[in-house]
Structures are given as structure tokens and as C-alpha cells.
């Protein structure tokens, strides 16, 4: 058992430098290897376990992340709550915003998206009406307010397959569907956490206007620049988080 919270981090985790590393643990899982060893450490005094979703050297693309191994590994060491941090494109929100989404639409395909089809797991159909853990969302929202960072407290995350970015028409369709954000890693991570009964919330960093909504093409330079600013807001938010997660 552990009272640590897990942070699964995405692109541009320059803020890892703010993590005081205590130790690392390699975890073997029935689903293969997690993206990296689990890093135990302290972030602004809070005990955390950190897992870089795309691997230590950022070599694993969104559709190749072993989401099952990652979530299973965290659960196996007694983690109960996970904050997933990832950059996204904004459909109704501009770059610079941090959003704590409350809904998901899944457009991904061909990913290992359930624990139910392996290893004699019993068939079950988890309730996913509210895909994120409200208690943890509230903690993030309060921390964001205390930190005075620009947050949106609701939003629908549309998960796309990647690694390419979307077409303008795809984004228009997602907008009509009700998506506010677009990202490539939000699923099946959230659903797998629910299958294992973990409390899971997402911190979405809007780093670009989604395809067709900004001026000209989306460039990696723009994304990188916005990411660096957003990471500062994430650090501030996390520093303002009070221990007390489920
Ligand atoms: N689309 C999908 N994923 C993303 C984007 C985007 O525009 N920006 C950052 N991650």
C-alpha cells in the first residue's frame, strides 16, 4: 500500500527536474513492459510516483504506448489515484489554458484497451458514464484556483489515434460531436484505470489551436513554446495541491 499519488506525464516534461528522485523500480506485468521504470520521488514535498508515458527518451508514440502495462504496474504497487498530464489541441479553448476535462469521446482504434481479454480475467462492463474521478478533479480544480493559473473546470476530451495531427474537417466533426480538446493519449488510459477501480483525472495542457482553427499550419515550434509556458502552470498547480486524495 502507498499513500503516493501517481503522475503519468506526457510530452515536454521538463518539470521532471523539479522532482526529487528517491528510487526507481522496474515492474514486470502480464501485459509486457511499462513505458519506463516507476520513479518514486517528491514533488514540492508531495510523495509521488512518476511514469513518463512516452518512455524515458520520449521514443514511444501515442498508439504504441503500453497503456495496460502502465496502469497495471501502478496498481500493482498500491497506487489508488492517478493524475494524467498531457498536451492537447484546443477546439473551444485557446493555448495556455489548463483544462480538467469531465468527459471523453474515444476515436482511437486498434489499441489494447481492456484488461478483460487477457489472463483469464472475468468479463465485466465497467460504468464509464463519468469517466474521471470527481474527487481528484475537485482537488486539481481547487489547486488550480489557489495557484491562479488559467483553468477550465469542464471539457470533453476527444482522443484521436495519431501520431499525425487531425485534418480541419476532422476537427469540425469533433466540434459538432461536442469535443473541446483533442489529444492522442487520453484513451484507453482512463478506461483501463476505471477497470482497475483507480481514481483517475486528467490535466490537459492546451498547447495549440486544433487543426484549421489557428493561423496556418500547426508547427512543432509553436507547440514547444506553448508547452514550456504550460508546464510552468502545471508546476504551480501541483505545488498548490493538498494531500488528501482518495
Ligand atoms: N491534436 C492531437 N493531439 C495533440 C494536439 C492536437 O492538435 N496538440 C497536442 N496534442
- Other C-beta atoms closer than 10 Å to the C-beta of 58 total 14
Kindly indicate the confidence band of residue 244, based on its pLDDT and cuts at 50, 70 and 90. Answer: low
Question: Of the given ranges (87-91, 122-126, 157-161, 175-179), which has the lowest mean pLDDT?
Answer: 122-126
Contact between residue 226 and residue 95 where contact means Cβ atoms under 8 Å apart: yes
> Is any ligand 1 atom within 6 A of the Cβ of residue 81?
no
What is the distance between the alpha carbons of residues 189 and 114, in angstroms, rounded to a whole number? 9
118 CA distance to ligand 1 centroid (A)?
Answer: 31
> Is any ligand 1 atom within 6 A of the Cβ of residue 156?
no
Q: Which residues of 205-218 are buried (b: 16+ CB within 10 A; e: fewer)?
A: bbbbbbbbbbeeeb
Residue to mutate, 172, 173, 211, 223, ligand 1, most ligand atoms under 8 Å from C-beta = 223
Q: Distance between alpha carbon 244 and the CA centroid of its chain, in Å?
A: 20
Peptide bond into 41 cis (omega under 30): no
108 CA distance to ligand 1 centroid (A)?
Answer: 13
3 CA distance to ligand 1 centroid (A)?
Answer: 32
* Residues 115-139 pLDDT 10s: 998 777 788 899 999 999 999 999 9
Cell of 205: 495542457
Enumerate the domain spans of the chain.
Answer: 5-239
Whether residue 158 is predicted with pLDDT greater than 90 in this model: the reply is yes
User: Average pLDDT for residues 83-96, to the nearest whole number?
Assistant: 97
77 CA distance to ligand 1 centroid (A)?
Answer: 31
Cell of 239: 505545488
What is the distance between the alpha carbons of residues 62 and 168, in angstroms, rounded to a whole number? 20
Contact between residue 108 and residue 32 where contact means Cβ atoms under 8 Å apart: no
Res 1: pLDDT: 41
Q: Whose CA is nearest to atom 5 of ligand 1?
A: 89
Whether residue 67 is predicted with pLDDT greater than 60 in this model: the reply is yes
- Helix ranges restricted to H, the chain: 67-76, 134-147, 168-177, 189-195, 220-239
Cell of 197: 477501480
| Torsion angles phi and psi, residue 49, rounded to 5 | -120, 125
> Is any ligand 1 atom within 6 A of the Cβ of residue 108?
no
Question: Of the given ranges (5-19, 23-37, 67-81, 186-200), which has the lowest mean pLDDT?
Answer: 5-19
Q: Does domain 5-239 have CATH number 3.10.20.600?
A: no
Q: Model-level pTM?
A: 0.95
Res 245: pLDDT: 67
Per the prediction, the chain carries an average pLDDT of 92
Res 15: pLDDT: 54
Amino acid at each position: 500500500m502507498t499513500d503516493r499519488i501517481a503522475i503519468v506525464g506526457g510530452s515536454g516534461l521538463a518539470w521532471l527536474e523539479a522532482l526529487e528522485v528517491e528510487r526507481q523500480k522496474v515492474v514486470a506485468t502480464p501485459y509486457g513492459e511499462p513505458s519506463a521504470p516507476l520513479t518514486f520521488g517528491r514533488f514540492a514535498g508531495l510523495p509521488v510516483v512518476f511514469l513518463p508515458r512516452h518512455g524515458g527518451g520520449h521514443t514511444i508514440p501515442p498508439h504504441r504506448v503500453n497503456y495496460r502495462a502502465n496502469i497495471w504496474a501502478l496498481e500493482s504497487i498500491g497506487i489508488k489515484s492517478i493524475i494524467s498530464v498531457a498536451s492537447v489541441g484546443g477546439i473551444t479553448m485557446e493555448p495556455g489554458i489548463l483544462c480538467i476535462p469531465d468527459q471523453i469521446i474515444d476515436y482511437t482504434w486498434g489499441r489494447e484497451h481492456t484488461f478483460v481479454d487477457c489472463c483469464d480475467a472475468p468479463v465485466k462492463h465497467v460504468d464509464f458514464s463519468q469517466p474521471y474521478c470527481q474527487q481528484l478533479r475537485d482537488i486539481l480544480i481547487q489547486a488550480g484556483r489557489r495557484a491562479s493559473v488559467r483553468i477550465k473546470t469542464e471539457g470533453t476530451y476527444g482522443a484521436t489515434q495519431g501520431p499525425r495531427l487531425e485534418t480541419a474537417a476532422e476537427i469540425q466533426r469533433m466540434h459538432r460531436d461536442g469535443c473541446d480538446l483533442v489529444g492522442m493519449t487520453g484513451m484507453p488510459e482512463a478506461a483501463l484505470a476505471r477497470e482497475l477501480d483507480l481514481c483517475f483525472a486528467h490535466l490537459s495542457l492546451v498547447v495549440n489551436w486544433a487543426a484549421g482553427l489557428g493561423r496556418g499550419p500547426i508547427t512543432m515550434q509553436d507547440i514547444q513554446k506553448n508547452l514550456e509556458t504550460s508546464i510552468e502552470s502545471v508546476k504551480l498547480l501541483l505545488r498548490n495541491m493538498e494531500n488528501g486524495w482518495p
